[in-house]
Amino acid sequence: AAAHELGTPLGTIALVARELRHEVPAESPLRADIDLLGEQAARCREILSGLARRPEGVDPFARQSLPQLIESAAAPHRKREIGFRLAPAGEGPAPLPAHAPEIVHGLSNLIQNAFDFARSEVAVEVGWGEAECRVAIRDDGPGIPYDVLSAIGEPYLSTKNEGEGMGLGLFIAQTLLERTGAAIAFGNRRAAGGAVVGAEVVVTWPRQEFEAGAAAP
């Protein structure tokens, strides 16, 4: 449902970008922005296409516990040179979300971003109680610049040296996870002396909504 709803306005953006590209001269300073808009729209379509596909061999009716879901979300992004640590802890049995691709893909984008910036390790802490479920994704990279924090989640913001659309992935993650009733907080971790030692993203759900599946739009 989310992929379909996002696909309609995305198609409009792609169409407008193509029309602008034909109308704006190649030497115009706006041309680079128009090209970027078209490229990012194409990448977004690829992300949504992946969201609409069910991984081969996955039972569409199977329910994974929250720690198992994190393992599934992290699996495509694991790197030999970057460690991965999953720390589950909660009161009673782990929550079982209803089948919700938005949760898997949203968390997968956040974990991918952590691996892209980590120096040596990505850690995910998973907690739950009677009222709430919580996932904290941490890396030991350079952290999020102060002036970027207020704008994080915008679809075309990028702080990657290689120019990849970091912001697009976070925007998609935020959109998908908020649809499931989640609240998301971005920030930096600091050492005792105040130095930034990595980035942190905390995602929380009311447990009842998490186990009921995606929230209604």
Domain that holds residue 47: 1-53
Compute the average pLDDT of residues 97-125: 88
Are 31 and 107 in a shared domain? no
Report pLDDT for 148.
74
Are 44 and 145 in a shared domain? no
Phi-psi region of 119 (alpha: psi -120 to 50; beta: other; left: phi over 0): alpha
Structure tokens at 99: 């089948």
Q: Where are the alpha helices (DSSP H) in 53-182?
A: 66-74, 101-117, 146-149, 166-179
CA dist 201 and 114 (Å) reads 9
Q: What angle do CA 138, 140, 145 make, to 5 degrees?
A: 90
With tokens 């995910």, the residue in question is 124
Report pLDDT for 79.
87
21 inside domain = yes
Are 142 and 183 in a shared domain? yes
Are 47 and 71 in a shared domain? no
Task: State if pTM tops 0.75.
Answer: no
Q: CA-CA distances (angstroms) from residue 155 to 34, 124, 145, 166?
A: 14, 24, 17, 8
Out of 13-22, 43-52, 161-170, least confident range: 161-170
217 inside domain = no
Q: How many domains does the chain have?
A: 2
Structure tokens at 183: 């609240």
Are 145 and 194 in a shared domain? yes
Are 37 and 89 in a shared domain? no
Work out whether strand 132-139 and strand 196-206 pair parallel, antiparallel, or are unpaired: antiparallel
149 inside domain = yes
Per residue in 120-172, pLDDT tens? 999 999 999 999 999 999 999 998 877 777 777 666 555 555 434 456 677 78
153 in helix, strand or coil? Answer: coil
Are 36 and 107 in a shared domain? no
Compute the average pLDDT of residues 115-122: 93
Are 118 and 41 in a shared domain? no
Query: Which residue, 194, 114, 121, is CA-closest to 160?
Result: 114
pLDDT bracket for residue 54 (50, 70, 90): low
116 inside domain = yes
Are 171 and 90 in a shared domain? yes
Are 1 and 83 in a shared domain? no
